[in-house]
Structure formats: structure tokens, C-alpha cells
Amino acid sequence: MEKLVKPMSGFLALLLAILSFAAGIILFIYGAGQVLLVIGGFICMIIFIFLMKGLMVISPNHSRVLNFFGKYIASVKDNGLFFVNPLYSTQRISLRLNNLQGQILKVNDKMGNPIEIGAVIVWQVGDTYKAAYEVQDYEGYVKIQSEAAVRMLTGSFAYDNLEDEHASITLREGGHQVNEILEKELSDRLAPAGIKIIEARISHLAYASEIAGAMLQRQQATAIVAARAKIVEGAVGMVEMALQRLSERNVVELDDERKAAMVSNLMVVLCGEKAASPVVNAGTLYQ
């Protein structure tokens, strides 16, 4: 478990180190041939090295993990000049935000269709103890687990509603919901490494090249069928309204055969892709 500590300021130790170094130089210069002064100079140099070894500078959004002969002591997240036990070993861990632009993966979706998908992930170290000791390499761990999370997400949902008409969430239309699911999956997978997910978004989504053409034709066909259904629905309503108005106003009396011919002509005019060319009938419907 992470333990935070704020060490003593390092400015006093730095001042003492400078004085020790200066004293050692003076003793070496003026103590030539005098054993006690030379020994004093060596002692001053040892004190200087000891004090300098304990000094550490921590920049903003950085931290140090302190270890004493294999035992975790604490983590320092404050920035500035500090002095710690010179026998501590320290590990630098950045607390800055990191962007991970995942590579574009080719994965099968829920319906088995091969698709290309990529994600952008913003993350940072939240627990320095876990990042330092729970995993071998926390940056590599983030990359591998992020790819696994994207693969899991892709296999859980269909690309769109063409394959699964009853799907409440699809990769193409899920938007915010899909991103939330990805963020949760990443948070669960990266928690052992002390990684905090700030944001995760799908950055690339497309059918794989081998089926892209077929899926495009299918989408176009679906759109055409939907448009045709709408046109027919509107045309039927207009024909019904025309017959009703003619009947109400007694404009003309139509028997069943004439109504059928009129309906046929109106449907051709209303549903045709091109403008209808009128044909003048000089006779009657029955001749």
C-alpha cells in the first residue's frame, strides 16, 4: 500500500555539504605533513559525500519511491529539494498524463465480422507503490492490457444493427456508452499496476478491407429498401386520399376496374424513379 511522506528540506543539508567540502579542501591544503589535519580533511569529504547522496530534487508531477535494502519505506510526491537517508535507494516515477495511441487492431466483432479498431487512452500513475513493485514494467503493462481491453470490447458488441437488429448498443452508434465501457474495463485491468484512466475513446472504427465492399453494398441496399418503403407508404396514403376526395365531391363515378386502373397509374407516377411520360388515351378504358 502506498505511503506518502514529506522529507526534511534539503537546503540545510546542501549548506552543510558545501561547508564540509570547503573545510576538507582547506585541511588538505594547510595540513600537508600533519596527519590529524589530513584525517580531518578525509572526514569532511566523507561527510560531504554522505550529505550529497541524501539530497534529491523532485520536479512538479514527479515522485520518488524510497527503498531501504529491499524494504519499501514511502513515496514522495511533493516537489522541491529534500534530504533523506543516504542509504535509501530511490526510483523515479512520473505522475504526468500519458497518451497511448493504440495500434489499429483487426478483431472480429460479436457477429464474427472482421473489423479494424483503434483507441486513444489517457492515463497516469495513481499509486506509486503498485507501479513500482506490483508489475515488472508498468508502461509495457499499460500497452498490453489496453490492447486486451479493446479486443474484449470489440468481441462483446456488433459493429452496427445490420447484423444484430435488437442490439441496444453497437460499436458504431454506441458513442459515449461504448467509451464508458472501455474506460471501466481499462480501469479494472490496470488497477493492479496503480494506473488511473483519465479518458478512453475509440479513434478508428471500420470494416476490414476484405469485407468493406460487401458491407458497403449491404448498407446501400438497406438504405434503398428503407427509402422505397417510405415512398410506397406515402404513395398509398396519397392514392387513398385522392379516391376519398373524388368520392366525397362526386367528381366522377368510378367502378372497381376504373379505381384499379387509377390506383395503378398513380402508384407508377408516385413511386417511379423518373418523371412519368403522359399518354393521351383517345378512347375509353374499355376500348
Q: Rounded to whole angstroms, how far apart are CA atoms 95 and 202? A: 24
- The larger pLDDT score, comparing residue 10 to residue 214, is at 10
pLDDT in tens, 68-90: 998 999 999 999 999 999 999 99
Q: Rounded to whole angstroms, how far apart are CA atoms 239 and 212? A: 40
pLDDT in tens, 5-27: 999 999 999 999 999 999 988 88
pLDDT in tens, 139-177: 999 999 999 999 999 888 888 776 656 667 888 888 889
Q: At residue 55, what are phi and psi to the nearest 5 degrees?
A: -80, 140
Point out the least confidently predicted range of 46-60, 192-206, 254-268: 254-268
Instruction: Report the mean per-residue pLDDT for the chain.
Output: 83
Q: Using an 8 Å Cβ cutoff, are 164 and 79 in contact?
A: no
Confidence tier at 109 by pLDDT (50, 70, 90): confident
For residue 190, what pLDDT is reported? 94
Q: The cell 458504431 sits on which residue?
A: 172
Over residues 115-137, mean pLDDT: 93
Q: Which three cell numbers stand for residue 239?
A: 392514392
Find which of 113-117, 228-232, 255-259 is predicted with most confidence, using mean pLDDT.
113-117
- Model confidence, pTM: 0.69
